[in-house]
């Protein structure tokens, strides 16, 4: 017997209702902010992610699902930003639309060791605003994340923000960090030793308990920010204050991807434990240019749907679908079945019948299990009189209805 791959999930019909609800809330809120949906492919050239996320990033180093075909190497997308920016450039959206607000909902793939809250196929609700470096846009996008979480009935979450500054500031921050970590290297994990050489900022993302102890004690001041970047960050904070958004300035927050600059943010939730990020995002002003496109600022974020489910209290009721269930008894009646169903559906009435050869009693039980609103019985008697027996499953009432009046009867 085949089993699903570890770290993947079957979303069964009863759970799909919840997914649809979350997606509907997201679409509605995105449209309030004038975002439009984009659906890039799930598979891209692997090089796209190496270039955007950074060769030394955790994702590129360990987590990409690579597919080799002859000389090409593809990857299932591990995140959405790189694909959206690639699509923005390739479709000349900078020339036709200029500034664009785009959102996406869909699966991402990372070859992680499966554990609670970490899947190999997981789902993101994300957005990217491409074509502006305005700090007000950062405030707006953080407020959008905040409103999405409120819309999903999540509370007790925390929004942490920081600014990495421009590439020069990032260099200064890296050097500061290297300086303050010298002498403490022996207390860091093996991965962090490599990070110290290749990309010291990533040490701040390490989840190793020993490293965390060292990291927590590090004092990181915002002195690395140049005047422009400091002013930009101040404007973001002012914007958030004016919107009354609760946030915490977290100097240790760097996000482990190369493309981020200036504003970075993360949403955490206490119920998620060590893997406590519900979502994250930030600015990536040089990514489009780096990928061969225009020199435009951009900012975005993504929320993990499976993690949202762990903390969201969104209620969803299965909407009553007013199902009409047909039970036909005998050869002749069965022959009428398909045509009758077709007629009901063409009149906008949800309907189904028994395809398992059940007895009357068994079919009635099935109708009840399906939550049918009406059961329609056709047997030899009914056929002779050109009527159907109509049973109201709510009131329990049963009556005969003329075949030509059936639609009218079912509609009221
Ligand atoms: Zn700067
Ligand atoms: Zn470490």
Closest CA to 92 of 131, 45, 126, 48: 131
**DSSP labels, 241-257:** HHTT---EE-TT---S-
Alpha carbons 227 and 233: distance in angstroms, whole number = 10
DSSP 90-129: HTTHHHHTSSEEEEEEEEEE--PPPBTTB-SEEEEEEEEE
- Which two structure tokens, joined as six digits, stand for 286? 């040089």
Report how far ligand 2's centroid is from the alpha carbon of 188 (Å): 5
What's the CA gap between 376 and 253, in Å, rounded? 63
pLDDT at 319 (0 to 100): 64
Could you tell me the distance, in angstroms and rounded to a whole number, from the CA of residue 194 to the centre of ligand 2?
A: 9
**Candidate from 127-131, 316-320, 374-378 with smallest mean pLDDT:** 316-320
The predicted structure's pLDDT at residue 58: 84
Model confidence at 343: pLDDT above 80: yes
Which ligand has an atom closest to residue 167 CA? 1
What angle is formed at CA 264 by the lines to CA 26 and CA 220, rounded to 5 degrees?
A: 150
pLDDT in the model for residue 412: 66
Distance 169 CA to ligand 1 centre (A): 5
Q: Which of 387, 362, 365, 384 is nearest to 376 (CA)?
A: 387
Q: Which ligand is nearest to the CA of 168?
A: 1
C-beta of residue 354 within 8 angstroms of C-beta of residue 361: no
Q: Which ligand is nearest to the CA of 214?
A: 2
Ligand 1: centre distance to CA 375 (Å): 70
Q: What percent of the chain has a predicted confidence (pLDDT) above 70?
A: 98
pLDDT tens readout for residues 192-231: 998 898 888 888 888 888 898 888 888 887 789 999 999 9
262 CA from centroid of ligand 1 (Å): 8
Q: Output the CA 258–ligand 2 centroid distance in Å.
A: 18
How does 314-330 read in b/e, with b if 16+ C-beta sit within 10 Å? eeeeeeeeebbbbbbbe
Cα(190) to centroid of ligand 2, in Å? 7
Average pLDDT over the chain, rounded to an integer: 93
pLDDT, tens digit, for every residue of 26-51? Answer: 999 999 999 999 999 999 999 999 99
Residue 47: left if φ>0, alpha if ψ -120 to 50, beta else—which one?
Answer: alpha
pLDDT of residue 409: 86
How much is the pLDDT for 411? 80
Q: What distance in angstroms lies between residue 111's CA and the mean position of ligand 2's atoms?
A: 20
With contact defined as beta carbons under 8 Å apart, do 250 and 187 qualify?
Answer: no
pLDDT digits (tens, 9 = 90+) for 90-141: 999 999 999 999 999 999 999 987 776 679 999 999 999 999 999 999 999 9
d(CA 196, ligand 2 centre) in Å = 10
Antiparallel, parallel or unpaired: β 351-353 and 324-328: parallel
Distance 172 CA to ligand 1 centre (A): 10
Q: Which residues are 353's β-sheet partners?
A: 326
Closest ligand to C-alpha of residue 204 is: 2
The pTM assigned to this predicted structure is: 0.90
Instruction: Tell me the C-alpha to C-alpha distance, in Å, between residue 178 and each of 26, 174, 218, 261.
Output: 41, 6, 11, 19
Q: Give the ligand at the shortest distance from the Cα of 205.
A: 2
Q: Which ligand is nearest to the CA of 200?
A: 2
What is the pLDDT confidence band of residue 321, given thresholds at 50, 70 and 90?
confident
Whole-number Å distance between alpha carbons of 24 and 28: 6
Task: Kindly report, residue by residue over 244-285, the tens digit of the pLDDT.
Answer: 999 999 988 988 778 899 999 999 999 987 667 999 999 999
């Amino acid at each position: 017997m085949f089993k699903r791959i570890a770290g993947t999930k079957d979303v069964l019909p009863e759970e799909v209702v919840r997914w649809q609800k979350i997606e509907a809330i997201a679409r509605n809120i995105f449209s309030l902010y004038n975002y439009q949906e984009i659906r890039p492919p799930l598979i891209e050239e692997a090089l796209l992610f190496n270039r955007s996320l950074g060769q030394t990033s955790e994702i590129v180093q360990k987590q990409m699902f690579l597919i080799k075909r002859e000389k090409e190497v593809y990857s299932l997308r591990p995140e959405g930003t790189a694909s959206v920016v690639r699509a923005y450039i390739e479709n000349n959206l900078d020339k036709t639309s200029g500034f664009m607000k785009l959102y996406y909902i869909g699966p991402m793939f990372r070859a992680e060791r499966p554990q609670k809250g970490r899947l190999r196929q997981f789902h993101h609700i994300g957005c990217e605003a491409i074509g502006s470096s305005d700090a007000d846009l950062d405030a707006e996008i953080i407020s959008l994340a905040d409103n999405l979480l409120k819309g999903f009935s999540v509370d007790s979450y925390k929004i942490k923000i920081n600014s990495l500054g421009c590439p020069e500031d990032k260099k200064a921050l890296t050097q500061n960090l290297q300086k303050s970590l010298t002498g403490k290297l022996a207390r860091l994990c093996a991965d962090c030793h490599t990070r110290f050489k290749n990309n010291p900022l990533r040490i701040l993302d390490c989840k190793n308990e020993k490293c965390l102890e060292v990291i927590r004690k590090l004092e990181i001041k915002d002195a690395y920010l140049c005047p422009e970047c400091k002013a930009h960050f101040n404007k973001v904070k002012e914007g958030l204050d004016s919107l009354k958004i609760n946030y915490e300035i977290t100097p240790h927050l760097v996000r482990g991807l190369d493309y981020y600059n200036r504003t970075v943010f993360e949403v955490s939730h206490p119920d998620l434990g060590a893997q406590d990020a519900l979502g994250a995002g930030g600015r990536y002003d040089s990514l489009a240019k780096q990928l061969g496109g225009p020199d435009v600022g951009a900012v975005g974020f993504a929320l993990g749907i499976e993690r949202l489910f762990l903390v969201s209290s969104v209620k969803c009721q299965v909407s009553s679908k007013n199902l009409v269930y047909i039970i036909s008894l005998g050869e002749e009646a069965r022959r009428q079945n398909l045509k009758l169903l077709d007629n009901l559906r063409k009149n906008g009435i949800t309907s189904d019948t028994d395809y398992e050869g059940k007895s009357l009693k068994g079919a009635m039980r099935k109708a009840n299990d399906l939550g049918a609103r009406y059961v329609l019985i056709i047997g030899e008697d009914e056929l002779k009189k050109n009527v159907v027996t109509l049973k109201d499953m709510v009131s329990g009432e049963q009556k005969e209805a003329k075949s030509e009046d059936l639609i009218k009867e079912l509609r009221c």
